Copies of this chain bind each other. A is one copy, B any other.
Amino acid sequence: MTKRLNVVGIGNAMVDILARCDDAFLAEAGVEKGIMQLIDMDRAVELYGKIGPAREVSGGSAANTIAVIAALGGKTAYVGKVKDDQLGHIFAHDMRAIGGEYETPLAGAEAWGETGRCIVLVTPDGERSMNTYLGVTEFLTPGDVDPAQIADAEWIYLEGYRFDGPDSHAAFAKAIEACHSTNGQVSLTLSDPFCVERHRDAFRKMIQDGVDLLFCNRAELLSMYQTDDFDAALKLCGSEVSILACTDSENGAYVVSGGETIHVPADPVAIVDATGAGDAFAGAFLYGMTHGADLATCGKMGNLAAGSVIAHIGPRPEADLKALFEDNGLI
């Protein structure tokens, strides 16, 4: 039986506020470079008051991933919470405009907080330092997950960041159950080394018990297994999960499955803004998985999409990904 959807993503819904700065600014503003740090509204207002002119684009890690799958023609849905405010409308518009389903109820005017946003500071080296005000997206609950929608998907994609909220654990559990009820498969991204630090035990249990495909990067993998030995971590993790897809910056990606490790090198790309690179990798990889590609090809697709996203400011593809994939003989 063919399912209606290829992938349903669940994660933190937010709008990115992207601005350039130099390293001195990061230091002065107290922003830790290269990671995602959670901030409250007071800090968001303070930091926003210091940064230069910005642009606003819909973001959110899993939402970016879903946007890539949809841009390639995959059938998608997304679950993540925004408020009934202007930023929330922007997020919802962009999510639907890519062609996927997005039906999570808006938090009403009475809800505490606003639509989540991430102040993304991009330094000249292309690195991004993220400052996330979660707002209403923190309050994703099991009620926001529609089991019928999940049951109709080949894969679900869970964003590690969304583990930063107790009700969301229950929402994830509900999604995994609905997914398994129709033999769907579960993918998870570790999101960030500090996110791994916060949720190592929960992630480990999920990897061992319910995850079919794990996405992470080198730093996240090392943090997960608390080691400096990358090869050993790849092997150990590969023994705990059916498929591991681990990115390694300009070195490309490693795909581990059935005791075999495939290295998929990436073509060199000038990094303008690394925001969304990992999200794009996961999206293209999942597109490949749901469209009959072998693992090495999935890895190539992931690298190509990531390379496209880091060549411009902003977390989602701006080039015609389908045409890019065709030009590269991948579809």
Cα distance, A53 to B54, chains bound together (Å): 18
A258 CB within 8 Å of chain B: no
Residue ID in chain B nearest A88 by CB atoms: B86
Chain B: minimal CB distance from A120 (Å): 13
> A97 touching B53 by the CB < 8 A rule?
yes
> A93 touching B49 by the CB < 8 A rule?
yes
> A54 touching B114 by the CB < 8 A rule?
no
Cα distance, A58 to B54, chains bound together (Å): 8
Q: Which residues of B contact A94 (CB under 8 A)?
A: 53-54
Cα distance, A58 to B53, chains bound together (Å): 9
User: In chain A, residues 81-116, which have Cβ atoms closer than 8 Å to a Cβ of chain B?
Assistant: 85-87, 90, 93-94, 97-98, 114-115
> A314 touching B55 by the CB < 8 A rule?
yes
Given contacts A86-B85, A86-B86, A93-B48, contact A55 B53 (CB under 8 A): no
> B98 touching A53 by the CB < 8 A rule?
yes
A128 CB within 8 Å of chain B: no
> A52 touching B97 by the CB < 8 A rule?
yes
Cα distance, A114 to B87, chains bound together (Å): 13
A interface residues, tally (CB under 8 Å): 25
A57 CB within 8 Å of chain B: yes
Chain B: minimal CB distance from A59 (Å): 11
Residue ID in chain B nearest A114 by CB atoms: B86
A316 CB within 8 Å of chain B: yes
Chain A residues in the interface with B (C-beta under 8 A): 48-49, 51-58, 67, 85-87, 90, 93-94, 97-98, 114-115, 313-314, 316, 318
Q: How many copies of this chain sit in the oligomeric assembly?
A: 2
> B56 touching A90 by the CB < 8 A rule?
yes
> What are the 6 tightest A-B residue pairs by CB atom distance, in nearest-first order?
A56-B56, A86-B86, A53-B94, A55-B57, A53-B97, A52-B97
Cα distance, A117 to B58, chains bound together (Å): 17
Chain B: minimal CB distance from A311 (Å): 13
Q: Which residues of B contact A55 (CB under 8 A)?
A: 55-57, 314
Chain B: minimal CB distance from A318 (Å): 8
Q: List 28 contacting pairs A-B, 8 Å CB cutoff, sorted by A.
A: A48-B93, A49-B93, A51-B97, A52-B97, A52-B98, A53-B58, A53-B67, A53-B93, A53-B94, A53-B97, A53-B98, A53-B316, A54-B90, A54-B93, A54-B94, A54-B97, A55-B55, A55-B56, A55-B57, A55-B314, A56-B56, A56-B57, A56-B90, A85-B85, A85-B86, A86-B86, A86-B114, A313-B318
Q: Which residues of B contact A90 (CB under 8 A)?
A: 54, 56
Cα distance, A90 to B44, chains bound together (Å): 13
Chain B: minimal CB distance from A173 (Å): 31
Chain B: minimal CB distance from A78 (Å): 13
Q: Which residues of B contact A114 (CB under 8 A)?
A: 86
Q: Which residues of B contact A97 (CB under 8 A)?
A: 51-54
Q: Which residues of B contact A53 (CB under 8 A)?
A: 58, 67, 93-94, 97-98, 316
